[in-house]
Amino acid sequence: MVENRPILTFLTHAILIVGVVFLCFPVWMALVASTHGPGALSQSPIPLWFGDQAWENYSQLLAGGLPEAGGVPIGMMMFNSAIMALVITFGKIVISILSAYAIVYFRFPFRMGFFWMIFVTLMLPVEVRILPTFDVVVKMGLLNTYAGLTVPLIASATATFLFRQFFLTIPDELVEAARIDRAGPIRFFKDILLPLSRTNIAALFIILFIYGWNQYLWPLLITTDESLYTVVMGIQRMVNSGEALPVWHYIMGTAVLAMIPPVLVVVLMQKLFVKGLVESEK
């Protein structure tokens, strides 16, 4: 398909533009809605351009609490979300890279048994094991703690599997060269395996950060204390605020704020990620 016909060029662009508009319209609406006053969104037609309330809305969201969201300031919820996402991300990466290292490079009894045990948990998403996990967390007294919020989500078969597959592609000669160079298991891991896994780690960081940030069901179960609410929960609580009319301009503002960290992570890490992919290493 290297034909150069103007009509085809026009058509492909038209399709792409429609797709972009289709995808971006909700985001645009959220941005627009967050800049209007409370009344503007309950009447028709819904405004499609920015209003003049942006400053007021956002300063209210960031500084003061909203009674509709239980009076918790958005900043606090963002902080909780960030803690949760970061702990989950780092925890998952650390645990899975270490377990993959053990499974690939060490010969211990029941090695494959352990691998399959980890692998089988791939089939069980959080939702399936949520009740037993909740029970464990309760019995350990971890309700309403950051530990309860993050630790049960850290174990990751997917990431372990990914690292395992990557480690298997590293030539044996490299391991042997390191052994001759007197690198013990820890040195080999630190000096050779970790730097080589850099791009994999970056890719996983993006995926896992978004996974952690967007967790909804688990924090909803595990936290009753308002100071531990995450921003995704906050949005949901604002929408279901009982008798009162939903405050759409605040909700949309919160949604826009909640979008910023994942977008930042993608934008910043993608550079490293793409660079790693382009820089084909031998």
Partner 1 sequence: MATLNIKSLGKIYPGGVTAVSDVNVDIADGEFIVLVGPSGCGKSTILRMIAGLESITSGDLQIGERRVNDLEPGERDIAMVFQNYALYPHMSVRGNMEYGLKNEGLPKDQIAERIAEAARTLRLEEYLDRKPAQLSGGQRQRVAMGRAIVRDPKVFLFDEPLSNLDAKLRTQLRAELKALHQRLGATFIYVTHDQVEAMSLADRIIIMNAGRVEQIGTPMDLYLRPASRFVADFIGSPAMNVVEGTVTEDRRGLLVDGSRDIRFADEIPATAGARIAMGIRPEHLSPDASGAAQFHLVVDFVEQLGADTVVHGKVSGTTVPLAVRLSGVQQHGSGEILELGCAADQLHLFDLSTGQRLN
Among the residue ranges 47-55, 121-129, 176-184, 256-264, the one whose residues contact partner 1 (CB under 8 A): 176-184
Contact indicator for 233, 214 with CB cutoff of 8 Å: no
Structure tokens at 166: 């990557």
Among 54, 86, 155, 192, binds partner 1 (CB under 8 A): 192
Shortest Å distance, C-beta 276 to partner 1: 11
Nearest to 62 by CA among 263, 260, 266, 241: 260
Shortest Å distance, C-beta 173 to partner 1: 4
Nearest to 92 by CA among 131, 127, 121: 121
Shortest Å distance, C-beta 178 to partner 1: 8
Among 56, 135, 191, 225, binds partner 1 (CB under 8 A): 191
Q: Give the span between the Cα atoms of 158 and 211, in whole angstroms.
A: 12
Q: Interface with partner 1 includes 195 (CB under 8 A)?
A: yes
Residues 6+ apart with CB under 8 A from 137: 143, 148, 152, 222
Nearest to 270 by CA among 209, 212, 188, 222: 209
Q: Interface with partner 1 includes 281 (CB under 8 A)?
A: yes
Q: Which is nearer to partner 1, 13 or 179 (CB)?
A: 179
Q: Give the span between the Cα atoms of 231 and 5, in whole angstroms.
A: 49
Q: Interface with partner 1 includes 277 (CB under 8 A)?
A: no
The alpha carbon dihedral of 85, 87, 90, 95 has a sign of negative
Nearest to 259 by CA among 15, 74, 95: 74
Q: Interface with partner 1 includes 280 (CB under 8 A)?
A: yes
Among 7, 180, 244, 278, binds partner 1 (CB under 8 A): 180
Q: Interface with partner 1 includes 173 (CB under 8 A)?
A: yes
Among 13, 111, 129, 187, binds partner 1 (CB under 8 A): 187
Among the residue ranges 31-39, 115-123, 172-180, 258-266, the one whose residues contact partner 1 (CB under 8 A): 172-180
Q: Which is nearer to partner 1, 2 or 112 (CB)?
A: 112
Contact indicator for 196, 170 with CB cutoff of 8 Å: yes
Shortest Å distance, C-beta 170 to partner 1: 10
Q: Which residues bind partner 1 (CB under 8 A)?
A: 171, 173-174, 176-183, 187, 191-192, 195-196, 198, 279-282
